[in-house]
Structure 1
């Protein structure tokens, strides 16, 4: 009898041991609470409200995952350099790392060893709800040399394609049927300059060069490789999508752009001294500037709603770059993505927490919107509104979970201009193409090293060209720029990028 009891106990012990080895999720459930540190981009808030939300969130995470969340902020000032520095230093204990292929060096950090490769077994076991909502093709776009490095934001629709927000009421007076091209924009500025002498048509300070790429994407269907820098130096034309080109280095489009910007400078579209520029956005809201250069999301969530309050008689519309050629590119699914830090001590637990933040409705609402009744409430139509007495400085939160949003769980904000949004969606869906470069590993460490001097050349010349800040002719300035690009090795890099493209 004793032998039988001993045998049964031994078998039970072996079963429990194997079960524990096979299921770390259950092992975690009996261990002490694990703190998962989440890195995001944004200035750390000081009003104490984000901490209150995190504490409420942690009550749920402790119960459902035996974990709690801590937030590490990388501020907006020089954010990319500081982001890369934090990841490379190894001095901060991190687990979940917010990342992006087009504005947060996702691929360089993956290739450089700062992110942990994830197996499908890990993902399906510890992050099952998310894993099952990502297709095999999408996982391949998150992979490098056969290893998965990112969890994509593949269930969220976001448009951050840029353009100019303008006064349609003024455009109508100018005889324009809205602004639908750079030619229309030129006519609009000329009319503003002539008929509204107290306005600065565009009170630019000379720092933004987004319009340069916008022009190149508008006059011809150019699709840039965002992983290689915000200038969009390389890419392909839709009519020949596998041939890597640089319109900055070859072709007539950049020359025509330079000539137009020189004309705008001489016309007085912006001030003679760019350093004298005031706050263009505030001037637009007060009727002293004729445009704001920004993207779709800011147009219908911030600019249009605010303008309706500040200047209710003004009619505001959006000219999106690429409209005249029908060229608009959907966001990469890696525009917002999550990675596991290579130095994470609890990668499985981090995946469990991420799965809850993305898929548990209570967790989702907390990390995105805060505490109902304090940061937000829902009206009779189920739309988000601010509670009576809400004060943004006192009551707002900042957790910036832009790396796992889902259309299904989003609460529409009652203050947004949804009619304008849906109007734009109808336009975009006619022309929009998927971002074609997700699965192509252009941003290898050697390529990034080689493009650095090319980007430095662009840093020197593109802002000058974008605002006509030079004394020679546009043709001479562009020729000098292109000579500098050649000396920096742009032809060699273009050939290497073509080889990479051909092999994928």
Structure 2
């Protein structure tokens, strides 16, 4: 850990302990974006400023995902100036395009590049970066430099998800949600096609979904209906996962049954519903619901959905109730939860997170930044929305784009990678998320059938199965794509052939190794 500045540790502990977290204090943002921090005193504030002024100046280097907005540097320079007394830090904010993000992080780490913190997630580079030792252990930093945030994350149980072999490896996001699948359809398109209203919450089963798609196809044959994902077999058969209460681990086609007390890892092709789901896809192809060019079509389903070229989608509670970015401003939707009584794991704290590089030159100051944004509405507003009346405007308590600006032309708002820094206690309503949206999201995740995964936070180590995983991925790509595109003539034969090849390539060895790790992980938590 960096030694510079340790002479003021005692003073900095006093600084961070005076910060008041809005969720606990019940503070409310004013029109200027500032917050009156209940529970603090004028004397404490003066003392904080005097003590923090002794901080040595540093430059914090952060990496986020997607493209850099035009006002980014101006915003973060303003943040640096505004919070000079609390942080005395300048910021170097870097962005990496989404398609290059994972590989770029890995290359930077191997090359020994130094940076302070970066956005990551369990669905991105996090597991690989942790396995390779790319992220700093935060056990000592957290309680010293972010004590309030540390206490909150301990109380919520979120820290266990980012603790590997006893070491805290990241700062997880603090939102609570669940991605139990929903079917969402375009009611405006139905109206244009002369289809009677389809009642909300009426599409609950695979059979209901089939009926919906058939109705839509007959009324709107010019639109696409089923868009296969050639890169992820599981995403094409999600309703079957929900029906049988399985959960996709997003790890080389591996899954677990949520009713299994041992959380046994099972290859997707060995699940009881796999062949049935492939037969279902074949029937969709034969009925003309899947385009014959599906295997070569590189357009993502989300793009078709946003442009109104497909009348329904399978999504989550969040996107069933948030306002989607449709091309048509008159677009309207309705939704239904699939198998609402079935179990589904809550979103992991590792879904979006911030990690500190093992080569960070300023880990202490970085943790102080994480502590401050967790307890200061004004800093949160500046980081998330930018400069009032330049990058955003306030309509009451809601943050909105300035006149003439949209999501597509924004100079700062909706920048990529911000999700790890979202704070429910400070999040303002936006055009996308209405007042109280995240409270309702947390309530949805708190229902009895929405549970936390017992292996949440387990990062699989692929050291002993690299060869087998490479072979598995190749076979799934070669033989799985024709199946999910529906072009296989004899589905049963094709599935049996793929299963045999996967077994010969070591699928059982992979499952055995992963289950060994699951067993050790669960034993360590007892």
Q: After TM superposition, is the score higher than 0.5?
A: yes
- Aligned mates of 1:325, 1:484 — CA distance in 2: 36
Quick check: 57-66 or 210-219, which moved more?
A: 210-219
- Aligned mates of 2:229, 2:459 — CA distance in 1: 35
C-alpha change, 1:196 and 1:172, in structure 2 (3 Å) is: same
- Aligned mates of 2:133, 2:378 — CA distance in 1: 34
C-alpha change, 1:333 and 1:276, in structure 2 (3 Å) is: closer
For 1:115, which of 135, 140, 149 is the aligned residue?
135
Task: Determine the structure 2 residue equivalent to 1:400.
Answer: 417
1:99 aligns with 2:115: no
Task: Determine the structure 1 residue equivalent to 2:515.
Answer: 498
1:298 aligns with 2:319: yes
Task: Determine the structure 1 residue equivalent to 2:239.
Answer: 215
- CA offsets, 1:252-300, max 9 Å, x none? 3010100010111111113221246877556556654222344443343
1:410-429 equivalences under 5 Å are 410-416=427-433, 429=447
For 2:170, which of 136, 147, 150 is the aligned residue?
150
SS of residue paired to 2:345: coil
Task: Determine the structure 1 residue equivalent to 2:109.
Answer: 87
1:20 aligns with 2:15: no
1:352 aligns with 2:368: yes
Task: Determine the structure 2 residue equivalent to 1:272.
Answer: 292
Q: Is the 8 A contact 1:182 1:215 kept in 2?
A: yes
- Aligned mates of 1:286, 1:74 — CA distance in 2: 26
Quick check: 270-279 or 80-89, which moved more?
A: 270-279
1:289 aligns with 2:310: yes
Aligned-pair distance for 1:57? 1.0
- Aligned mates of 2:311, 2:518 — CA distance in 1: 42
For 1:132, which of 151, 161, 168 is the aligned residue?
151
* Greater radius of gyration (CA): 1
- Aligned mates of 1:464, 1:106 — CA distance in 2: 31
Q: Is the 8 A contact 2:265 2:514 kept in 1?
A: no
C-alpha change, 1:167 and 1:456, in structure 2 (3 Å) is: same
- Aligned mates of 1:294, 1:426 — CA distance in 2: 18
Task: Determine the structure 1 residue equivalent to 2:350.
Answer: 334
For 2:90, which of 68, 78, 93 is the aligned residue?
68
C-alpha change, 1:449 and 1:141, in structure 2 (3 Å) is: farther
- CA offsets, 1:313-349, max 9 Å, x none? x5x22345x5255132211111112211011122112
SS of residue paired to 2:216: helix
- Give the unaligned 5+ runs of structure 1: 1-16
C-alpha change, 1:502 and 1:301, in structure 2 (3 Å) is: same
- Aligned mates of 1:499, 1:261 — CA distance in 2: 34
For 1:435, which of 453, 469, 476 is the aligned residue?
453
Task: Determine the structure 1 residue equivalent to 2:24.
Answer: none
Aligned-pair distance for 1:80? 2.2
- Aligned mates of 2:255, 2:80 — CA distance in 1: 44
SS of residue paired to 1:43: coil
Task: Determine the structure 1 residue equivalent to 2:38.
Answer: none
Q: Is the 8 A contact 1:225 1:437 kept in 2?
A: no
- CA offsets, 1:390-425, max 9 Å, x none? 354253342532223221111122454679988887
For 1:186, which of 193, 210, 224 is the aligned residue?
210
Aligned-pair distance for 1:30? 3.5
Task: Determine the structure 2 residue equivalent to 1:253.
Answer: 273
Task: Determine the structure 2 residue equivalent to 1:489.
Answer: 506
Quick check: 423-432 or 73-82, which moved more?
A: 423-432
**Greater helix proportion:** 1
The number of residues matched between the two structures is 471
For 1:201, which of 225, 236, 241 is the aligned residue?
225
1:473 aligns with 2:493: no
Q: Is the 8 A contact 1:100 1:337 kept in 2?
A: yes
- Aligned mates of 1:455, 1:276 — CA distance in 2: 21
Task: Determine the structure 1 residue equivalent to 2:184.
Answer: 165
For 2:474, which of 456, 461, 472 is the aligned residue?
456
Q: Is the 8 A contact 1:300 1:418 kept in 2?
A: no
Quick check: 188-197 or 36-45, which moved more?
A: 188-197
Aligned-pair distance for 1:427? 5.9
- Aligned mates of 1:87, 1:358 — CA distance in 2: 27
1:239 aligns with 2:259: yes
Q: Is the 8 A contact 1:247 1:253 kept in 2?
A: no
SS of residue paired to 1:133: helix
- Aligned mates of 1:278, 1:139 — CA distance in 2: 38
Task: Determine the structure 1 residue equivalent to 2:80.
Answer: 58
Q: Is the 8 A contact 2:121 2:350 kept in 1?
A: yes
- CA offsets, 1:186-237, max 9 Å, x none? 12222222233333323557556453351342220113334x35x4x132x2
Q: Is the 8 A contact 1:441 1:500 kept in 2?
A: no
Q: CA RMSD in A?
A: 3.4
- Aligned mates of 1:51, 1:383 — CA distance in 2: 24
